[in-house]
Amino acid sequence: MIIQTFDTAIGSLQDFDSIEGTLKQLGKSHFTRTVTEHHYDGLARAILTVLEGALDEDWTNKVRKSWVCAWIKMSTTMKGDHYPKISFPNSNDDT
């Protein structure tokens, strides 16, 4: 299912609006099943490693950057506002 979803998403990146709602729903579903942000990171590493091995000499820096950008766009959309944002105090703040 992951590969099928990823394939559909990659094929639709030119028209991201067409898959944005699906990705948001998928992200909500993942969140309710206790998928953490670390799971997204682990999956990203696994996908990139598999692609690198499968593409061999076709795995160029440009291809890598394209996949990373696609993953960031998709995973950010899926995470939405489900996970707490970390804020850091202003270094100029005297409190």
Q: Are 59 and 51 in contact (CB under 8 A)?
A: yes
Distances from the Cα of 64 to the Cα of 2, 7, 9, 46, 77, angstroms: 19, 16, 17, 13, 20
Task: Identify whether the C-beta of residue 61 lies closer than 8 Å to the C-beta of residue 8.
Answer: no
The tens-digit pLDDT sequence of the chain (95 residues) is 666 777 777 777 788 888 899 899 999 999 999 999 899 999 999 989 998 999 899 999 999 998 898 889 989 999 998 887 776 677 565 55
The single residue listed with the structure tokens 């995470």 is 79
> How many helices and strands (H and E) does the chain possess?
4, 0
Q: Which of 39, 17, 8, 22 is nearest to 78 (CA)?
A: 22
Query: Which pLDDT belongs to residue 62?
Result: 93
Q: What pLDDT score does 31 carry?
A: 93
**Residues in the chain, total:** 95
- Token pair for 45: 């590493």
